[in-house]
Amino acid sequence: MRLAIQFAIVLMLAIGPALASDRLVVDDAGRKVQVPQAPKRIVVLHEAALGVPIAELGIAPVGSYGRDDQGASLLTVDFYKIVLAGSAPKPLPRGIGAIGNMDLERLRALSPDLIIGTEHNVDRARQLSKIAPVYLQNSSTGRVRGNESQEALSRLLKRTKEFTALKRSYAQRVKTVRDALPHNPNGKTYLGIFITDQINLIGEMSGLVQAFQDLGYTRLDVSGIGAIKGFGSALLVPISPEVFASLNPDLLVMMNSYGKPQREEAHIRQNLDRIIPGWARFLKPARDGRIIFLDSAKVTTPSFASANHTLDAVRAWASHQK
Amino acid sequence: MKIRRALDGKSVLRLRTGLEMRLSNLWACLFLVFAATTLAVMSINVGFTRTGVSDLGHLAAGERLGGAEVFALLDVRMPRILTGFMAGWCVAMAGAMLQALARNPLADPGLFGLSQGSMVTIMVLLALFPTAPRSIIPLTALAGGLLVALTLIWLVRGDRSGGLAILLMGIAIETVLSSVTGILILYTPAETSYALSDWLAGSLFRADWNGIWAFMPWFALSIPAAFVTGRALRSFGLGDDMAMALGEPVPWSRPTFLFVAVLLSSAAVAAVGPLIFLGVMAPHLAGILSPATGRARLFLSGLTGGTLVIAADILTRLVAADVPLQLGLSLSLIGVPLFIIALRLRALRTISNL
Amino acid sequence: MRQRWPFLIIAFFLFSLTLLASLSVGAKPVPFETVFLTFTSFDTNDYAHAIVWYQRWPRALIAVYVGAVMACAGCVLQGLTRNPLSSPTTLGINSGAAMFVVIASFVFGMNEQAQGYMALAGALFGFFSCLLVVRLVGLSQDPRRLVLILSGALIGMLYLSAANALLLSDPELRSNFLGWLTGNLNHAYAGRLFDYWWIGASALALLFGLARPLTLIVIGEEKAASAGVNVVFVCSLAFMAVAVSAGSAVAICGPLGFVGLIVPHIVRPFVGTSFIFSLPACAVTGATACLLADFVARFAFAPYVVHTGVILDLVGGLVFAWIVKRYYLARNAGSWT
């Protein structure tokens, strides 16, 4: 009995202070999570979808899946450096083991106070909860649009002030770019294309989508023209190259997959030449110069930085038009 | 306890209960236990946190340790070793049973489509009901494996060719199920697809004490199962007619053994994913240590399988920093060279015996 | 075998019909006369012409190449191994090539051309590792040579799982590879067809040239030897040709399985086992089968498009089961010579 009381006291002493400064939130997977008032040591399980938006809000994650112990990226693309450029976290977040081989001991050594994953990490949540509270944030098309996940994260991390500030300067930029456009974008359509070894329509979750939406464009409705649906795939929707050339949005946005290091305009053209030889002759937006080439790595994260990169590209295109 | 000579002149150890054990098998068993223990000790010492067996000793003696060390030892390494060993044991034993059943040295839970069956049902569950409670995964795996086994039995009813037809039918089912897996991996959203492939590659990431307690009954079941089936499996090796003549009710025992193999293989799939090739490798390696039959073969195979998985896990964690090495891949890296050596040795032995 | 010539003629007729259909039908229908016009007087500014010439024609050529090569490979393998279940897929050739391509790209970061050559090397590697397992297991009491199929299936499982596990190391690169790894006819890889067609063509020519000695070997090795055939030499030449040509097919469109298993079984009842007839028949029927599978993959599940490889695997597995049922399970099981 005495032992039990002692144990209870020790237990209360241990978690007492934690309770005082924690708050109970419900994450997107419906789990109840004790989150610290102001998390300082965050580990993210997805660099592009979570790491970049959080780093932009001013909290440098201490750990990020897909990097090595020194913080160098193990992937083709280092999203922090490419998207955030000068304001990338310094030092860069450290890794938690190789991709596909997450190392719990490495993760714990970073002593995180919050682990943030996407809804797809639900299988790992139980193991990771032993190290720190695990919050799962919806991050894929169909569940969130544009930059919605960044806004949700800003509320979770008590960074709404920073979010509003970013939004204000972004709105300013939207206005200047809108004024520089050769046409009034209201009622005009755009379409984002992502090129792998086939042609894909991009999903709704990215700074790119946010930027075009805020400029006033609407996404071209492709439901009637034989766009191929994958079984439930919403991130990239493959579309038959045969109908592709007959598409005619007011603005066509094209990018190469970020699985490859070459993502400039010349390479996008080269890649298209392979899949649809002669596209430049048949695609109406191509004939009329209504194509914007983008670097997929820069514009596909749900962050203002990505939206701003998109705005820059639109503006460069607009200045070329006049 | 006495040492006697068996009918073929080999030494056997006879326990007072009447249980007999060949000395060669006993030595092989001791060797494997020694190897497993050594590897487990190595595995305890390997990892990002600097800690090891000595710390484990301190912990057992009641000393206080840092949080990182305790976490590494008790929450990561020990569960991985135990889960890995049990899964390897079960797959290898299932493989040995199936080999005796099909009277073919290349039978494997994967080749029979059993682990594919479990895998496909798990994947369908994860893809269609991503929020389903994870506790039903073992049951799902079992259902899938059973479904495949029943289909197999139904397809090869009235089989007169011995174990061959069931094995070939297994390959056919495995192919069909693989294409279902392919559809799931290709047409689910990229992230879901990634999670599914992660399952397919086999992983000890999910190993924890709850999982170990859940696995324990199946593991424990394998021991009496091996005792019961071992003798019957030996008579199977002589052919259906001979087995019948020895009093083995073949039409009944064949499905029963298949059922036991399904239990073992699906328990392992639910815990760590399919361990391809292990069911073939382990019995062959065990056969090199000691050319046992029946029960002894089952137990030695199980021990070898468990040991191999522990070794593979060490390799996986040694390179964890930047080389992505899945459990299944490192298992192949370690096991396949050993397997080839084992087969070669056996071939040489057969030649010298001629 | 009076049906030989009629079968060949009908097969060729069906082949032309499917080829024409696959050029004409698609997401954007193109009438037959436009298809003809594309080849007679190509108009660079007509989009229909561009679709037919740049997209459907290369795609159809890939299907024809892969179908013909795989079917002939399967036919020769089934004859020489005296086993109805042999095919490039079941003997580890496809999976070996697939694994090597993934290794080339993920581990060594090779470019696409080098990946193609790795596929050729991988095909040989897969086939030889299958033979190695057979040799090592060395079952002398194996009248139906099943150990070959078993070790092939094992090797196939092992290599494909290794390839899939390697894919996990880079999620972005993985999505670029997934389609290829399940076998997909995609005209984007037509460049590889233009690089490798000569491999398949010369392999087929070699097999056609060896048709007579090969047939003699299948009838009986001693008989063949007494007729002056160097059995070992001819066999190894044929195996090499099969492995290399199948490897070149994998390099083009991924491990597209089971054409090699199915087609010889469709053809054999009509033309018999003599390679002189069965090889050309297999080539034509294989090409037709591949075009058809591509057709089904694109339209049967509209508005969804499935990969050709997945369809073929599914059908292949079922046919495999049927063959087992027919040759190994029936009361008076079909004999195999």
The pLDDT of C225-245, averaged and rounded, is: 89
Model confidence pLDDT, tens digit, residues B55-113: 888 888 888 888 888 888 888 999 999 999 999 999 999 999 988 887 777 788 888 88
Q: Comparing B131 with C201, which gets the higher pLDDT?
A: C201
Peptide bond into C303 cis (omega under 30): yes
pLDDT category, B163, cuts 50, 70, 90?
low
Percent of chain B with pLDDT over 90: 25
Residue C110: Cβ within 10 Å count: 16
Cα A166 to chain center, whole Å?
A: 16
pLDDT category, C32, cuts 50, 70, 90?
confident
The interaxial angle of helices B164-187 and B137-155, nearest 10 deg, is 140
Model confidence pLDDT, tens digit, residues A247-270: 888 999 999 887 777 788 888 998
Task: Evaluate if residue B240 carries a pLDDT over 60.
Answer: yes
Q: Calculate how close chain B gets to C67, using CA atoms only, in Å.
A: 19
**Comparing B245-254, B267-276, B296-305, which segment has the lowest mean pLDDT?**
B245-254
Identify which of C133, C179, C310 has the shortest CB distance to residue B179: C310
pLDDT reported for residue A57:
93
| pLDDT, mean over chain A | 84
Instruction: Answer yes or no: are the C-beta atoms of C254 and C183 closer than 8 Å.
Output: yes
pLDDT reported for residue B9:
65
Task: Evaluate if residue A150 carries a pLDDT over 90.
Answer: yes
Task: Evaluate if residue A211 carries a pLDDT over 90.
Answer: yes
pLDDT reported for residue A234:
46
Alpha helix ranges (H) inside chain C: 4-24, 32-40, 47-50, 57-80, 93-106, 112-137, 146-167, 171-181, 190-209, 211-219, 221-226, 231-253, 259-271, 275-299, 308-324
Percent of chain C with pLDDT over 90: 25
**Which position has the token pair 């010369």?**
C202
The pLDDT of B188-212, averaged and rounded, is: 82
The pLDDT of C37-41, averaged and rounded, is: 86
- List own/partner pairs for B214-219 with CB under 8 A and 24 or more apart: B214/B138, B215/B83, B215/B86, B215/B87, B215/B267, B215/B271, B216/B86, B218/B86, B218/B90, B218/B263, B218/B264, B218/B267, B219/B86, B219/B89, B219/B90, B219/B267
User: Which span out of A149-153, C267-271, C325-329 was modeled with the highest average pLDDT?
Assistant: A149-153
Q: In this structure, which amino acid lies at residue A19?
A: L
- Give A105's contacts in chain B (Cβ within 8 Å): 47-49, 68, 71-72, 76
pLDDT reported for residue C194:
87
- CA–CA separation, A190 vs C123, rounded Å? 45
pLDDT reported for residue B322:
66
The pLDDT of C138-161, averaged and rounded, is: 75
Hey, of C34, C45, C47, which one would you mutate to test binding to chain A, going by the most A CBs within 10 A of its CB? C47
Task: Evaluate if residue C332 carries a pLDDT over 70.
Answer: no
pLDDT reported for residue A76:
79
Q: Comparing A225 with B75, which gets the higher pLDDT?
A: B75
Task: Evaluate if residue B23 carries a pLDDT over 50.
Answer: yes
pLDDT reported for residue B96:
92
The pLDDT of C163-187, averaged and rounded, is: 80
Task: Evaluate if residue C25 carries a pLDDT over 90.
Answer: no
**Comparing A49-63, B2-16, B25-39, B279-293, which segment has the lowest mean pLDDT?**
B2-16
pLDDT reported for residue C303:
56
- Give B316's contacts in chain A (Cβ within 8 Å): 101
pLDDT reported for residue C333:
47
pLDDT reported for residue B306:
95
pLDDT reported for residue A306:
93
Q: In this structure, which amino acid lies at residue B174?
A: E
pLDDT category, B351, cuts 50, 70, 90?
low
- CA–CA separation, B110 vs B91, rounded Å? 10
pLDDT reported for residue B64:
80
- CA–CA separation, A193 vs C144, rounded Å? 54
Q: Comparing C108 with A231, which gets the higher pLDDT?
A: C108
Task: Evaluate if residue A226 carries a pLDDT over 50.
Answer: no
pLDDT reported for residue B22:
80
Q: Considering only CB atoms, which residues of chain C are within 8 Å of chain A?
A: 26-28, 44-45, 47, 50-51, 54-55, 165, 168-176, 179-180, 186-189, 191, 303-305
Identify which of B104, B176, B201 has the shortest CB distance to residue C168: B201
Q: Considering only CB atoms, which residues of chain A are within 8 Å of chain C?
A: 75-77, 98-100, 196-198, 226, 228-231, 236, 238, 240-243, 245-246, 257-260, 274-278, 281-282
**Comparing B133-137, B346-350, C151-155, which segment has the lowest mean pLDDT?**
B346-350
pLDDT reported for residue B51:
85
The pLDDT of C41-55, averaged and rounded, is: 85
pLDDT reported for residue A264:
83
Task: Evaluate if residue B35 carries a pLDDT over 50.
Answer: yes
Hey, of B191, B194, B206, B331, which one would you mutate to test binding to chain A, going by the most A CBs within 10 A of its CB? B191
Task: Evaluate if residue B149 carries a pLDDT over 70.
Answer: yes
Q: Where does residue C30 fall: left (phi above 0), alpha (psi -120 to 50 degrees), or beta otherwise?
A: beta
The pLDDT of C28-53, averaged and rounded, is: 85
The pLDDT of C278-282, averaged and rounded, is: 93
The pLDDT of C76-95, averaged and rounded, is: 88
pLDDT reported for residue B320:
67
pLDDT reported for residue A230:
42
pLDDT category, A231, cuts 50, 70, 90?
very low
Task: Evaluate if residue A172 carries a pLDDT over 60.
Answer: yes
Cα R_g (chain B), whole angstroms: 21
The pLDDT of C134-154, averaged and rounded, is: 72
Please provide the DSSP assignment of C37-73 as one string. HHHHS--TT-HHHHIIIIIIHHHHHHHHHHHHHHHHH
Task: Evaluate if residue A304 carries a pLDDT over 80.
Answer: yes
Who's near A199: CB < 8 A, 6+ residues apart? A193, A238, A239, A240, A241, A244, A275, A276
* A189-195 and A218-219 strand pairing: parallel
- CA–CA separation, C183 vs C189, rounded Å? 12
Please provide the DSSP assignment of C176-195 as one string. HHHHHHT----GGGHHHHHH
Q: Which DSSP category does C2 fall into?
A: T
- CA–CA separation, C219 vs B48, rounded Å? 63
| pLDDT, mean over chain B | 84
**Comparing A297-306, B68-77, C241-250, C291-300, which segment has the lowest mean pLDDT?**
C291-300
